[in-house]
């Protein structure tokens, strides 16, 4: 089922109102502002509701059951979901696998996998990082060797978010060990996690959650038709998938939320009578305000049909580091209470100091660490 | 790969070309530094050329003889002036003084002064501040007492940019009907001007008025004076932020070129990751500055809402002041010893940033003001 209208034809306000009204009427109240990554079993009904409405895959083209939204409308869609506190579902199939297959997949792959994403049968996870290939991803060593009609895969993936909740994994694997450059011997492979030889182990994070996993691959046999695109072109395809969605890592929402928590904490502790704290708070406020101004510029480029370049990386750096500074301020302000693991109850206010502080840590690591982002900016934007 | 965001329109591109041609004809940074040694610390001939470019009417409405363009256009010109650390007082004499003349309630007088302002024949200076770090236009002690069908004005005015080159002062004083602005020629009897040099060698004047006689018809603004001044001051803050953006962009460009060319340990110092990351952090501050300035400019070109304008002006002035100083300081550091010499230009960028940051409220003051005027956003 899909949305039959071209929603790009609606006016922005009309479109926003329609998204808002439907989300408010259909999103389960108890899942609003969910405090951690949500699992498929916890949001299955919502997933199906979205799918039935035809709103599950906002940027997929309409011919593949998506909404085909242009960037401007997609930004509004995202804003409305976030405003209502809609949890981020296990969305790798929607965000990555769909666009990958639509661009590079065979007709058979598209038919099979896209339908299973719409139906919620396949939940995908991303197999990129390895124990010795993090920031230097191109050095990855998990190998896939063609034997007859199957690739035999051996190796290990790590930091695989929600692999234990997923049914399929899309992986970057090494198919040519002798390529001139490490980037040139890498392919994209799709693999059913039920295939013999796969072991998944969760890695509890410092918040005590089981969000990421290790995936061990021991002589895993994958049908060769599950290779996406040309062999040894995986790196190029992965880079091409970094589309305009990159601006969302610079979304000011996360910082605004943390700033509000900081304000609540400060009010509870009567900290605004302290001029030194107030000066720091005002600085954080403007850091978030100015982030929003920059985010708006990039959103404006997209809305007017322009293209986003690698300079957009600065949004990720500023958004995540501002987020961390605000959560650090919360711990500092909490004083004795700054060591508490659980949310603080202050009068009628509940403030998740430690949850925010610890939760902000990985933001400067994932999606290309901030150090890597700085390398990219130095090279590609500053020409250093 | 920079983003594809050629956001300038034709008028803005034309203005940028004309500003770039102007700064190159006027000797670039060398010329701008030389002009500081003149008695007024800027050059009247250069001023006249700027007038002939049509820039002085950019922000003034067509019915008053201006071009009726906006802050987006003015910012383009001002940024280019910032890039060569030009000493000519565009923002104080044209933007700040021009705004009170535009909004004045004595149209005959104001329009006459605007005509002279646009032609470059008369350079005014707004003389309003009396105490350091006080930006309330009404918090003054200067008085205008009725006498002989006119007024006698007494008081002291401080922090007047480019006062030594001004032909006339627009003086704020408490008159019989409250706060008003008076036109006072620079050679009026009873007027004393003393000059201090700012760190960038431009002039900062202190004006003493000892019973200066002003004719009745020389009152420019008598109604809503504080509001008109506050509006003008916020417009000048946005334009000062634009000048700071020009200053920081050029300082950054000079520094970036330098680290690519300067070799130590057998390679350009810009190949060292420690310096690369620092340069990226400076560039991030520059990007934030241009974006918060862009937002302020858009607000001033589209909104008359006083609180909205105040918060956007403060946000822009706060970020651009802080970033201008940061980039100025780090530019010297990244140049090493040569950056600390007077002969090399990079130090002038820090000095200009110091002057523009301090004027009309520094970063600290504007962060506080933003907190006072901008409503908190709900979670």
Best B268, B270, B291 member to test A by mutation, with max A CBs in 10 Å, is: B291
Say if residue B45 is in the same domain as residue B129: no
Contact A282 B371 (CB under 8 A): yes
Residue B129 belongs to some domain of the structure: yes
Say if residue B190 is in the same domain as residue B82: no
Taking residues B152-176, what's their average pLDDT?
98
Q: Are B246 and B290 in contact (CB under 8 A)?
A: no
How high is the pLDDT of residue A86?
94
Number of domains in chain B: 3
Say if residue B100 is in the same domain as residue B53: yes
Residue B4 belongs to some domain of the structure: no
How high is the pLDDT of residue A204?
94
How high is the pLDDT of residue B201?
96
The pLDDT-based confidence of B6 (bands split at 50, 70, 90) is low
Final residue in a domain of this structure, among B224, B246, B272: B224
Residue B349 belongs to some domain of the structure: yes
Mean residue pLDDT of chain B comes to 96
The pLDDT-based confidence of B54 (bands split at 50, 70, 90) is very high
- Residues in chain A with CB shorter than 8 Å from the CB of B277 are 371, 374, 378
Return d(Cα B143, Cα A245) in angstroms, integer.
60
Say if residue B367 is in the same domain as residue B289: yes
Sorted by where each begins, the domain ranges of chain A are: 7-89, 124-235, 242-381
Distance from the Cα of A244 to chain B's closest Cα (Å) equals: 11
Return d(Cα A348, Cα B210) in angstroms, integer.
61
DSSP code string of A154-179: EEEEEEEETGGG-SEEEEEEES-TT-
The pLDDT-based confidence of B369 (bands split at 50, 70, 90) is very high
Task: Give the domain range for residue B51.
Answer: 10-119
Taking residues B35-58, what's their average pLDDT?
96
Q: Are B332 and A306 in contact (CB under 8 A)?
A: no
Return d(Cα B280, Cα B274) in angstroms, integer.
10
Say if residue B242 is in the same domain as residue B332: yes
For residue A355, what is the enclosing H or E element?
A: helix A353-360
Contact B2 A311 (CB under 8 A): yes
Q: What percentage of chain B carries pLDDT values higher than 70?
A: 97
Residue B100 belongs to some domain of the structure: yes
- Residues in chain B with CB shorter than 8 Å from the CB of A286 are 315, 318-319, 367, 370
Which chain A residue has the Cα nearest residue B322?
A283
- Residues in chain B with CB shorter than 8 Å from the CB of A310 are 1-2
Q: Are A133 and A143 in contact (CB under 8 A)?
A: no
| CATH number, domain with residue B334 | 1.20.140.10
Locate A328 and state its tokens. Answer: 């650090």
Pick the CATH number of A124-235 from 3.30.2130.10, 1.10.10.10, 3.40.50.300, 2.40.110.10: 2.40.110.10
Which regions in chain A score pLDDT beneath 50? none
Say if residue B146 is in the same domain as residue B245: no
Locate A122 and state its tokens. Answer: 């396949």
Contact A381 B5 (CB under 8 A): no
CATH class (in words) of the domain with range A242-381: mainly alpha
Say if residue B236 is in the same domain as residue B248: yes
Say if residue B104 is in the same domain as residue B24: yes
Going by C-alpha positions, the residue among B343, B362, B366 that lies closest to residue B29 is B343
Of A260, A261, A311, the CB nearest to B3: A311
Locate A13 and state its tokens. Answer: 């306000």
Residue range A89-126, pLDDT digits in tens: 999 999 999 999 999 999 999 999 999 999 999 999 99
Q: Is the ipTM of this complex over 0.90?
A: yes
Say if residue B367 is in the same domain as residue B255: yes
- The third-level CATH classification (topology) of the domain covering A7-89 is Butyryl-Coa Dehydrogenase, subunit A; domain 1 (1.10.540)
Taking residues B155-162, what's their average pLDDT?
98
Best B257, B280, B313 member to test A by mutation, with max A CBs in 10 Å, is: B280
pLDDT reading at B7 higher than 80: no
| CATH number, domain with residue B60 | 1.10.540.10
Catalytic residue set of A: 245
Buried b (16+ CB within 10 A) or exposed e, A239-277: eebeebbbbbbbbbbbbbbbbbbbbbbbebbebeeeeeb
Taking residues B185-190, what's their average pLDDT?
97
pLDDT reading at B211 higher than 60: yes
Return d(Cα B1, Cα B4) in angstroms, integer.
9
Locate A238 and state its tokens. Answer: 């992965």
Distance from the Cα of A243 to chain B's closest Cα (Å) equals: 12
Buried b (16+ CB within 10 A) or exposed e, B355-378: bbbbbbbbbbbbbbbbbebbeeee
Residue B108 belongs to some domain of the structure: yes
Q: How many CA atoms lie within 13 A of B103 on its CB side?
A: 21
Locate B296 and state its tokens. Answer: 């302020």
| Residue ranges of chain B whose CB lies within 8 Å of a chain A CB | 1-5, 7, 256, 259-260, 270-271, 273, 276-277, 279-281, 283-284, 287-288, 291-292, 294-295, 315, 318-319, 364, 367-368, 370-371, 374, 376-379
Contact B3 A298 (CB under 8 A): yes
The pLDDT-based confidence of B130 (bands split at 50, 70, 90) is very high
């Amino acid at each position: 089922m899909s949305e039959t209208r071209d929603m790009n034809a609606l006016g922005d306000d009309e479109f926003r109102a329609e998204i808002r009204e439907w989300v408010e009427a259909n999103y389960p109240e108890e899942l609003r502002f969910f405090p951690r990554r949500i699992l498929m079993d916890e949001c299955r009904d919502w997933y199906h509701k979205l799918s039935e409405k035809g709103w599950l895959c906002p940027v997929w083209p309409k011919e593949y059951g998506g909404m085909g939204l242009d960037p401007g409308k997609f930004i509004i869609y995202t804003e409305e979901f976030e405003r209502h506190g809609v949890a981020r579902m296990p969305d790798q199939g929607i965000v990555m696998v769909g666009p990958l297959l639509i661009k590079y997949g065979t007709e058979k792959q598209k038919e099979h996998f896209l339908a299973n994403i719409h139906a919620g049968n396949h939940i995908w996870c991303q197999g990129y990082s390895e124990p010795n290939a993090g920031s230097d991803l191109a050095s990855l060593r998990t190998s896939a060797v063609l034997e007859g009609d199957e690739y035999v895969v051996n190796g290990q993936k790590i930091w695989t978010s929600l692999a234990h909740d997923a049914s399929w994994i899309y992986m970057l694997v090494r198919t040519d060990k002798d390529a001139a450059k490490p980037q040139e011997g890498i392919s994209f492979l799709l693999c059913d996690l039920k295939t013999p030889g796969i072991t998944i182990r969760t890695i509890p994070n410092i918040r005590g959650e089981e969000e990421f996993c290790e995936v061990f691959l021991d002589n895993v046999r994958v049908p060769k038709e599950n290779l996406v695109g040309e062999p040894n072109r995986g790196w190029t395809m992965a880079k091409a998938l970094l589309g305009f969605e990159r601006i969302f890592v610079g979304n000011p929402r996360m910082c605004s939320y943390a700033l509000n928590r900081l304000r609540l904490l400060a009010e509870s502790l009567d900290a605004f009578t302290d001029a030194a704290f107030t000066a720091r708070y005002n600085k954080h406020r403007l850091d978030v305000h100015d982030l929003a101004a920059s985010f708006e510029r990039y959103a404006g480029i997209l809305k007017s049909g322009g293209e986003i370049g690698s300079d957009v990386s600065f949004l990720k750096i500023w958004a995540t580091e501002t987020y961390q500074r605000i959560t650090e301020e919360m711990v500092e302000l909490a004083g004795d209470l700054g060591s508490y693991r659980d949310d603080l109850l202050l009068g009628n206010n509940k403030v998740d100091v430690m949850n925010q502080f610890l939760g902000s840590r990985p933001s400067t690591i994932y999606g290309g660490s901030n150090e890597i982002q700085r390398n990219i900016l130095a090279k590609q934007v500053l020409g250093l | 790969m920079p983003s594809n965001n050629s956001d300038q329109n034709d008028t803005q591109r034309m203005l940028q070309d004309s500003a770039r041609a102007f700064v190159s004809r006027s000797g670039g940074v060398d010329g701008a530094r030389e002009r500081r040694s003149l008695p007024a610390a800027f050059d009247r001939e250069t001023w006249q050329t700027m007038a002939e470019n049509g820039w002085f009417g950019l922000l003034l409405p067509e019915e008053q003889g201006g071009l009726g363009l906006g802050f987006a256009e003015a910012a383009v010109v001002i940024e280019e002036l910032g890039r060569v650390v030009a000493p000519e007082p565009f923002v104080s004499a044209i933007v700040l003084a021009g705004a009170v003349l535009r909004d004045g309630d004595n149209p005959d007088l104001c329009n006459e002064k605007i005509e002279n302002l646009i032609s470059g024949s008369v350079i005014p200076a707004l003389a309003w501040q009396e105490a350091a770090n006080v930006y309330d236009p009404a918090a003054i002690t200067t008085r205008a007492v009725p006498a002989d069908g006119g007024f006698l004005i007494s008081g002291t005015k401080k922090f007047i940019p480019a006062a030594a080159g001004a032909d006339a002062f627009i003086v704020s004083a408490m008159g019989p009907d409250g706060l008003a602005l008076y036109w006072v020629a620079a050679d009026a009897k009873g007027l004393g001007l003393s000059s201090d040099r700012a760190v960038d060698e431009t002039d900062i004047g202190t004006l003493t008025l000892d019973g200066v006689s002003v004719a009745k018809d020389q009152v420019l603004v008598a109604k809503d004076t504080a509001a008109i001044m506050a509006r003008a001051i916020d417009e000048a803050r946005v334009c000062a932020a634009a000048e700071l953006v020009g200053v920081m962009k050029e300082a950054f460009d000079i520094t970036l070129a330098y680290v690519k060319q300067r070799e130590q340990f057998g390679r350009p110092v810009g190949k060292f990751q420690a310096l690369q990351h620092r340069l990226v952090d400076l560039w991030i501050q520059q990007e934030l500055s241009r974006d918060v300035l862009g937002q302020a400019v858009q607000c001033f070109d589209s909104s008359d809402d006083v609180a909205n304008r105040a918060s956007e002006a403060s946000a822009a002035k706060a970020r651009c002041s802080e970033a201008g100083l940061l980039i100025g300081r780090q530019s010297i550091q990244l140049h090493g010893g040569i950056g600390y010499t007077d002969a090399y230009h990079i130090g002038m960028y820090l000095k200009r940033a110091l002057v523009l940051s301090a004027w009309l409220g520094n970063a600290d003051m504007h962060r506080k003001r933003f907190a006072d005027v901008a409503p908190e956003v709900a979670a």
